[in-house]
Structure 1
Amino acid sequence: MRTQKTQPADSWHDRVESADWSAEADEVNEYGGALLPQLLTREETRELRGLYERGELFRSTVDMGRHRFGEGQYKYFLAPYPEPVERLKQALYPRLLPIARDWWIKLRRPDPWPDTLDDWLQMCHNAGQTKSTAILLKYGEKDWNALHRDLYGEPVFPLQVVINLNEPGGDHTGGEFLLLEQRPRAQSRGTATLLPHGHGYVFTTRDRPVRSTRGWSAAPVRHGVSAIRSGERHTLALVFHDAA
Structure 2
Amino acid sequence: MQLFLSHIKSPLGDLMLVSDAQHRLYALEFSDHRARLHRGLRDRYGSAELIDAAAPASIADAMTRYFSGELNALDPLPVVMAGSDLEEEVWAALRHIPAGTTTSYGKLAKALGFEDPRAAIDIGAASGANPIAIVVPCHRVIASNGDLKGYAWGLHRKRWLLEHEKAIAAAREVPQTARSRDFETNMSLSMSSAANTFDKLDWSAIAAQLDSEGYAVLPRLAGAAEARMLAREAGRLTALRRVPLDSLDLGRGDLLYFGAALPHPWAQWRADLYRQLAPIANRWNEMLGMPYRYPAALDAFLERNRRAGQTQAQSHLNQLRTDDYLALHQRSEGEHVFPLQMVALLSAPGKDFTGGELVLTEQRPRMQSRPTVVPLGLGDAAIIATAQRPFKGSSAYYRVNLRHAISRVRSGERIGAELSFHDAPKAANDQHAFDL
TM-score (norm 1): 0.93
Residue 305 of structure 2 aligns to a residue whose secondary structure is helix
Farther-moved stretch of structure 1 (207-216 vs 137-146): 207-216
Contact map agreement 1:176 1:192 (CA 8 A) in 2: yes
What is aligned with 1:5? 185
What is aligned with 2:124? none
Unpaired segments of 5 or more residues in structure 2? 1-179, 426-436
CA distance in 2, matches of 1:213, 1:190: 22
What is aligned with 1:122? 303
Q: AA paired with 1:172? A: F
Q: AA paired with 1:135? A: H
Contact map agreement 1:129 1:242 (CA 8 A) in 2: yes
Farther-moved stretch of structure 1 (215-224 vs 178-187): 178-187
* Aligned partner (choices 187, 192, 214) of residue 368 of structure 2: 187
What is aligned with 1:132? 313
Q: How many residues align?
A: 243
What is aligned with 1:49? 231
Query: 1:185 Cα shift?
Result: 2.6
Unpaired segments of 5 or more residues in structure 1? none
Q: AA paired with 2:225? A: E
Write out aligned runs for 1:122-201 (5 A): 122-201=303-382
Write out aligned runs for 1:40-119 (5 A): 40-51=222-233, 53-54=235-236, 56-58=238-240, 60-119=241-300
Q: AA paired with 2:184? A: Q
CA distance in 2, matches of 1:19, 1:228: 31
Contact map agreement 1:177 1:192 (CA 8 A) in 2: yes
What is aligned with 2:213? 31
Residue 186 of structure 1 aligns to a residue whose secondary structure is coil
Which has the higher Rg, Structure 1 or Structure 2?
2
Query: 1:22 Cα shift?
Result: 1.3
Residue 424 of structure 2 aligns to a residue whose secondary structure is coil
1:34-79, Cα deviation, whole Å (9 max, x unpaired): 1013222333322322245436222x32211232201111111013
CA distance in 2, matches of 1:195, 1:240: 21
Runs of 4+ in 1 over 6 A off after TM superposition: none
CA distance in 2, matches of 1:236, 1:170: 18
1:113-132, Cα deviation, whole Å (9 max, x unpaired): 11100111111111111222
Query: 1:134 Cα shift?
Result: 1.4
Contact map agreement 1:161 1:203 (CA 8 A) in 2: yes
Residue 246 of structure 2 aligns to a residue whose secondary structure is coil
1:172-208, Cα deviation, whole Å (9 max, x unpaired): 1111111100012322211001211111100000100
* Percent identity over paired residues: 37
1:128-171, Cα deviation, whole Å (9 max, x unpaired): 11222210110001111110001231210000000100011111
CA distance in 2, matches of 1:140, 1:151: 27
1:4-47, Cα deviation, whole Å (9 max, x unpaired): 21243732211222322111111111111110132223333223
Farther-moved stretch of structure 1 (195-204 vs 184-193): 184-193
CA distance in 1, matches of 2:277, 2:319: 26
CA distance in 2, matches of 1:224, 1:197: 18
What is aligned with 1:216? 397
**Larger RCO of the pair (alpha carbons < 8 Å, separation 6+):** 1
Higher relative strand content:
1
Contact map agreement 1:135 1:238 (CA 8 A) in 2: yes
TM-score (norm 2): 0.53
Q: AA paired with 2:409? A: I
Farther-moved stretch of structure 1 (61-70 vs 228-237): 61-70
Contact map agreement 2:239 2:259 (CA 8 A) in 1: yes
Contact map agreement 1:79 1:132 (CA 8 A) in 2: yes
What is aligned with 2:16? none
CA distance in 2, matches of 1:150, 1:47: 27
* Aligned partner (choices 213, 221, 227) of residue 408 of structure 2: 227
Residue 54 of structure 1 aligns to a residue whose secondary structure is coil
Residue 56 of structure 1 aligns to a residue whose secondary structure is coil
